[in-house]
């Protein structure tokens, strides 16, 4: 049952599917307490619908019928379990009590005066003496547990939720804390914030697993955790023939290999085996961080792993192991490869080269390794040690001195050729660019679509002022440098881009044909799916660099909630920095300035501790219209760990943004929410551009050292990071989700309907004589349309891709929507962005009759 419950939580969070079998607990009398009037099924359904609406959700027709067939006690238990899962997801299960309980009205206008009064009271107040601020002799009492002397006259116990002097949480039963008003949530929720809950089909877990396994980009940590939960109770028959992402494959193999050792043959390279070993040790299969503590592997597992390494080609085995030299050296301490040298001599040879071990030719192990080395000319004996040269080292050397030779070498490895495409284009003489284009045209048929879209963005992006780097590591840190590279010749860049786009169109043509496609021009704001390794766990699952529009003059409320670890205080701060058009500093709102320009930014107050179980919450209200009035353009919310406690040591940490909330914390208004994870201490989740009215998803961490992290200390670095991100992702040269959808549309239908940014609807119709590439170019560039169209054009579409699902596509249509709203998964096939790209994988020719993955 606990595993089923965890799987039910995953299905509800990811797909808004409700699994009744996992959410129907044994009926207890206390379950009746949830029903307001537990007299009839209808009254129970009405109560459940009302509570769901407060959370921005509605029951689908199928789920409503299921609930109506339950007894009243069963409905009560089912409804309570469902609401508990939803509240845990949105953080509505926590007590969100800010420092000033009357926020935003009761936040003091003068932060300096508030601070001075706190300092005076804390330093000068003596027991049994009048208040140093007001002189009241009877109102000063100590609060628990910090024991600071607090004047009940100067500090309003009905407004404060913590000690007003040290700002730490105090005992909820302390007499200083007086009852405050009870917040009443509104009876109605905006219809555009409602989304359907649907009854989960019998194969919901399996189809969700399959959708994760066919992804063509590495999964973020949250998706990997979900996959582990969903694999509980699974069997190998669920696995597709190919799991394209090696990190995902390692997680799956680690789950099954103990009972099904033959599956280890799916680890096709030494690096695949290393990922598997990391997964078996509960470490990151992405190999970004080593295992904290190496688990001792059973002898049978060590034999199995070494036997698999021994069956690999010797040259690629050595190259892969040298690519992760330090990791393999640590693993060797656990595997003991020389103990099995006579059974697995090739594996032992690889470890001997890696560790530069001296061979003892008198031992059986040394003789076995020497005999194996004699059969491989690329291995040399240097004294009593073995050495080799790798393919990667030969390519790097050739790129520096003989680029044409590097091209010849890379022809043998298509993926490596495309990954190094831009560097080759800059290194090769102009008269050899034709050979490069020809080599790429031959190689692209076997390359992942994620690699192709990344290469396409690089090819057509000219050198700019700054370059952006996302290094491997436990958190998504970035850095920048001046871009001093030479531009790729325009003709060569155009030819290479044409080859890459042509390959994507060719792959799309083998997918099932469509009668009509409906596309939303706003998809140009969303970046194409890429590597998601370092992505935070979020609700919308946007790719870094994507942007979503903000309505005019909207109030945004940021929130931060955290629970500190036992025995250690964690002081997190929610801060906002404002910059002008040229990234000049305009102002801030944090614990040093609770109000900026009166009500343009309002902070709920700084809480300096977050003891469990309730933790602490901070809010900041943003009035976008007022911020524009004072000359601000870029607004950067930042989460700081003031006292340097890493996010992954918190019991819980979440942050997010609400749009026009009704009440202090409104789960229906939560537009985005992300988990604080990893060893980072500073998170820049997104930025708001007040001029373009866009919220751009950054999801990056800044490196931090020392103590006292805040905006004043990091303001310059924040501006540099955000400016670079805006320059790189706002240029329009990177591949967008719009382009991917256009490739699908152009190759799979002759009739495409586009909803433009101004709300008009136009159509593109392919003439039988029109080349596919020309039609795709016309559609992608949004050139002159063929005709205007009716507003209900989406009703007959077989495939629709929109930012917000305010449409009613025909039953059975495939739909991508960043905001699905009231689309029913029982009536439509709902897709996510990685699925749109995965359908263009190089093996789609073998599955031409299959629809896009569910």
Q: Are residues 194 and 335 in the same domain?
A: no
Rounded CA-CA distance 330/326 in Å is 6
Q: Are residues 194 and 298 in the same domain?
A: no
Whether 360 is in a domain gets the answer yes
Rounded CA-CA distance 233/407 in Å is 48
Return the H-helix or E-strand segment holding 619. Answer: strand 616-623
- With a cut of 60, say whether residue 311 has pLDDT above it: yes
- With a cut of 50, say whether residue 527 has pLDDT above it: yes
- With a cut of 50, say whether residue 854 has pLDDT above it: no
Q: Which of 549, 539, 528 minimizes the C-alpha distance to 741?
A: 528
- With a cut of 50, say whether residue 37 has pLDDT above it: no
Give the CA distances from residue 777 to residues 529, 756, 785, in Å, rounded to whole numbers and listed in that order: 21, 17, 12
Rounded CA-CA distance 467/581 in Å is 20
Report percent pLDDT > 70 for the chain: 92
pLDDT per residue over 744-777, tens digit each?
Answer: 999 999 999 999 988 899 999 999 999 999 999 9
Rounded CA-CA distance 689/701 in Å is 20
- With a cut of 90, say whether residue 166 has pLDDT above it: yes
Task: Output the pLDDT for position 27.
Answer: 47
Q: Are residues 194 and 318 in the same domain?
A: no
Whether 656 is in a domain gets the answer yes
Helix (H, G, I), strand (E, B) or coil at 635: strand
Q: Which of 316, 699, 312 minimizes the C-alpha distance to 470?
A: 699
Q: Are residues 194 and 333 in the same domain?
A: no
Phi-psi region of 44 (alpha: psi -120 to 50; beta: other; left: phi over 0): alpha
Q: Which residues have CB under 8 Å from 722's CB, separation 6+?
A: 579, 583, 634, 636, 684, 687, 698
Examine the fold and report which residue of 669, 702, 721 is the final residue of a domain before the chain moves on.
Answer: 721
Q: How confident is the model at residue 807 (pLDDT cuts 50, 70, 90)?
A: confident
Domain CATH number, residue 664: 2.60.60.30
Q: Are residues 193 and 304 in the same domain?
A: no
Q: How confident is the model at residue 29 (pLDDT cuts 50, 70, 90)?
A: very low
- Is 447 or 35 the better-scoring residue by pLDDT? 447
Q: How confident is the model at residue 795 (pLDDT cuts 50, 70, 90)?
A: confident
Task: Output the pLDDT for position 34.
Answer: 47
Examine the fold and report which residue of 704, 721, 738 is the final residue of a domain before the chain moves on.
Answer: 721
Whether 376 is in a domain gets the answer yes
pLDDT per residue over 282-305, tens digit each?
Answer: 888 888 878 877 778 888 999 999
pLDDT per residue over 812-850, tens digit each?
Answer: 899 999 988 888 888 889 998 888 998 998 864 443 333
Rounded mean pLDDT of 693-710?
A: 86
Helix (H, G, I), strand (E, B) or coil at 387: strand
**Which of 54-63, 115-124, 477-486, 616-625 is least confident?**
477-486
Rounded CA-CA distance 337/369 in Å is 11
> What residue numbers bound the domain in which 701 lies?
547-721
pTM of the model: 0.86
Q: Are residues 563 and 651 in the same domain?
A: yes
Q: How confident is the model at residue 703 (pLDDT cuts 50, 70, 90)?
A: confident
Whether 171 is in a domain gets the answer no
Whether 377 is in a domain gets the answer yes
Rounded CA-CA distance 150/158 in Å is 14
- With a cut of 90, say whether residue 725 has pLDDT above it: no
Task: Output the pLDDT for position 847.
Answer: 38
Task: Output the pLDDT for position 31.
Answer: 43
Q: How confident is the model at residue 158 (pLDDT cuts 50, 70, 90)?
A: very high
Q: Are residues 312 and 192 in the same domain?
A: no
**Which of 265-274, 471-480, 574-583 is least confident?**
471-480
Rounded mean pLDDT of 342-365?
A: 86
**Which of 265-279, 463-477, 711-725 is least confident?**
463-477
Query: What's the domain count of the chain?
Result: 3
Q: Are residues 289 and 358 in the same domain?
A: yes
Rounded CA-CA distance 807/307 in Å is 56
Q: Are residues 195 and 260 in the same domain?
A: no
**Which of 196-210, 375-389, 429-443, 625-639 is least confident?**
375-389
Q: Are residues 603 and 715 in the same domain?
A: yes
| Strands 195-199, 17-18: pairing kind | parallel
What is the DSSP code (8-state) at residue 798? S
Task: Output the pLDDT for position 43.
Answer: 85
Q: Are residues 260 and 345 in the same domain?
A: yes
Contact 147, 174 (CB under 8 A): no
Whether 71 is in a domain gets the answer yes
Rounded mean pLDDT of 72-84?
A: 88
pLDDT per residue over 576-625, tens digit each?
Answer: 999 999 999 999 999 999 999 989 999 999 999 999 888 999 999 999 99
Q: Are residues 299 and 191 in the same domain?
A: no
Task: Output the pLDDT for position 354.
Answer: 87
- With a cut of 50, say whether residue 568 has pLDDT above it: yes
Rounded mean pLDDT of 459-478?
A: 68
Rounded mean pLDDT of 231-256?
A: 91
Task: Output the pLDDT for position 133.
Answer: 92
Taking all residues of the chain, what is their mean pLDDT, rounded to a whole number? Answer: 87
Examine the fold and report which residue of 389, 422, 446 is the final residue of a domain before the chain moves on.
Answer: 389
Rounded CA-CA distance 268/320 in Å is 11
Report percent pLDDT > 90 for the chain: 45
**Which of 228-232, 271-275, 285-289, 290-294 is least confident?**
290-294
Contact 523, 737 (CB under 8 A): yes
Rounded CA-CA distance 698/823 in Å is 28
Rounded CA-CA distance 349/332 in Å is 12
pLDDT per residue over 44-76, tens digit each?
Answer: 888 899 889 888 899 999 999 999 988 888 888
Return the H-helix or E-strand segment holding 800. Answer: strand 799-804
Give the CA distances from residue 205 to residues 46, 256, 686, 728, in Å, rounded to whole numbers and listed in that order: 29, 17, 32, 38
**Torsion angle, alpha carbons of 456, 459, 463, 466, to 10:** 30
Please give the backbone phi and psi of residue 510, each rounded to the nearest 5 degrees, phi first. Answer: -85, -5
Phi-psi region of 97 (alpha: psi -120 to 50; beta: other; left: phi over 0): beta
Whether 836 is in a domain gets the answer no
- With a cut of 90, say whether residue 144 has pLDDT above it: yes
Q: Which residues have CB under 8 Å from 112's CB, separation 6+?
A: none
Residue spans of beta strands (DSSP E) within 624-681: 634-641, 652-659, 670-675
Task: Output the pLDDT for position 478.
Answer: 66
Whether 65 is in a domain gets the answer yes
- Is 253 or 39 the better-scoring residue by pLDDT? 253
- With a cut of 70, say whether residue 340 has pLDDT above it: yes
**Three-state helix/strand/coil letters over 527-580:** ECCCCCCCCCCECCCCCCCCEEECCCCCEEEEEEEEECCCCCCCCEEEEEEEEC
């Amino acid at each position: 049952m606990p595993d089923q419950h965890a799987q039910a939580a995953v299905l509800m969070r990811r797909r808004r599917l409700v699994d009744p079998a996992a959410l129907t607990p044994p009926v207890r009398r206390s379950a009746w307490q949830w029903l307001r009037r537990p007299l009839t099924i209808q009254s129970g359904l009405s109560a459940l619908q009302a509570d769901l609406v407060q959370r921005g959700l509605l029951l689908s027709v199928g789920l409503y019928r299921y609930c109506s067939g339950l007894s009243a006690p069963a409905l009560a238990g089912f409804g309570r379990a469902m609401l508990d899962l939803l509240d845990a997801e949105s953080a509505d299960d926590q007590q969100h009590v800010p420092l000033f309980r009357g926020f935003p009205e009761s936040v003091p206008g003068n932060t300096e005066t508030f601070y001075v009064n706190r300092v005076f009271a804390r330093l000068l107040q003596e027991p049994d003496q009048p208040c140093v601020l007001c002189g009241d002799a009877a109102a000063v009492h100590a609060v628990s547990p910090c024991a600071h002397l607090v004047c009940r006259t100067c500090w309003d116990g009905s407004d404060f939720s913590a000690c007003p002097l040290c700002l730490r949480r105090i005992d909820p039963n302390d007499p200083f804390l007086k009852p405050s008003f009870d917040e009443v949530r509104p009876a109605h929720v905006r219809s555009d914030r409602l989304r359907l809950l649907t009854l989960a089909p019998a194969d919901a877990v399996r189809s969700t697993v399959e959708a994760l396994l066919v992804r063509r980009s590495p999964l973020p940590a949250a998706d990997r955790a979900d996959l582990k939960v969903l694999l509980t109770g699974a069997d190998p028959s669920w696995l597709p023939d190919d799991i394209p992402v090696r990190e995902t494959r390692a997680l799956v193999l680690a789950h099954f290999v103990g009972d099904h050792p033959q599956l280890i043959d799916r680890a096709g390279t030494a690096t695949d085996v290393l990922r598997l070993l990391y997964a078996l040790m509960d470490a990151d299969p992405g190999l970004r961080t080593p295992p904290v503590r190496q688990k001792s592997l059973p002898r049978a597992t060590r034999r199995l792993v070494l036997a698999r390494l021994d069956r690999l080609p010797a040259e690629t085995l050595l190259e892969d192991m040298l690519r992760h030299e330090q990791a393999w050296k640590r693993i060797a301490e656990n595997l003991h490869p020389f103990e099995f040298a006579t059974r697995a001599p090739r594996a032992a040879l690889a470890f001997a080269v890696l560790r530069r071990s001296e061979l003892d030719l008198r031992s059986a192990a040394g003789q076995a390794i020497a005999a194996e080395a004699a059969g491989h000319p690329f291995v040399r004996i240097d004294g009593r040690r073995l050495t080799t040269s790798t393919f990667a080292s030969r390519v790097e050397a050739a790129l520096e001195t003989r680029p044409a030779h590097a091209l010849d070498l890379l022809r043998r490895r298509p993926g490596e050729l495309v990954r190094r495409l831009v560097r080759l284009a800059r290194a090769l003489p102009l008269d050899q660019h034709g050979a490069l284009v020809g080599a790429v045209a031959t190689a692209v048929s076997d390359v992942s679509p994620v690699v192709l879209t990344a290469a396409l963005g690089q090819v057509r992006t000219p050198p700019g002022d700054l370059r952006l780097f996302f290094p491997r590591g436990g958190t998504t840190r970035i850095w920048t440098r001046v871009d001093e590279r030479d531009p790729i010749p325009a003709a060569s860049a155009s030819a290479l881009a044409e080859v890459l786009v042509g390959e994507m169109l060719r792959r799309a043509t083998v997918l099932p044909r469509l009668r009509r496609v409906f596309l939303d021009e706003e998809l140009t704001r969303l970046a194409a799916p890429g590597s998601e390794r370092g992505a935070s766990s979020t609700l919308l699952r946007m790719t870094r660099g994507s942007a979503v529009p903000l309505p005019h003059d909207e109030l945004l409320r940021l929130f931060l909630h955290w629970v500190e670890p036992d025995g250690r205080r964690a002081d997190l701060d929610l801060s906002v920095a404002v910059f002008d058009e040229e990234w000049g500093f305009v102002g801030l709102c944090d614990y040093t300035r609770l109000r900026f320009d009166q009500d343009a930014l309002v902070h709920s107050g700084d809480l300096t501790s977050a003891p469990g179980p309730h933790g602490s919450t901070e809010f900041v209200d943003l009035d976008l219209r007022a911020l524009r009035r004072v000359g601000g353009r870029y607004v950067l919310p930042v989460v700081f760990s003031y006292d340097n406690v890493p996010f992954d040591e918190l019991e819980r940490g979440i942050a997010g943004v609400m749009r026009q909330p009704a009440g202090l914390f409104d789960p229906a208004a939560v537009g985005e929410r992300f988990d604080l994870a990893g060893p980072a201490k500073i998170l820049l989740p997104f930025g708001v551009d007040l001029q373009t009215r866009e919220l751009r998803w950054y999801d990056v961490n800044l490196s931090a050292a020392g103590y006292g992290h805040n905006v004043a200390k990091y303001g310059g670095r924040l501006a540099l990071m955000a400016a670079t991100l805006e320059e790189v992702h706002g240029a329009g040269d990177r591949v967008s989700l719009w382009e991917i959808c256009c490739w699908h549309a152009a190759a799979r239908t002759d009739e495409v309907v586009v909803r433009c940014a101004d709300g008009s609807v136009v159509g593109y119709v392919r003439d039988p004589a029109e080349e596919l590439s020309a039609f795709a170019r016309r559609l992608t560039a949004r050139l002159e349309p063929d005709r205007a169209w009716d507003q209900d054009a989406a009703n007959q579409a077989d495939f629709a891709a929109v930012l917000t699902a305010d449409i009613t596509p025909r039953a059975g249509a495939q739909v991508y929507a960043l905001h699905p709203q009231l689309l029913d998964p029982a009536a439509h096939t709902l897709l996510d962005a990685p699925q749109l790209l995965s359908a263009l994988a190089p093996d789609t020719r073998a599955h031409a009759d299959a629809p896009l993955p569910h």
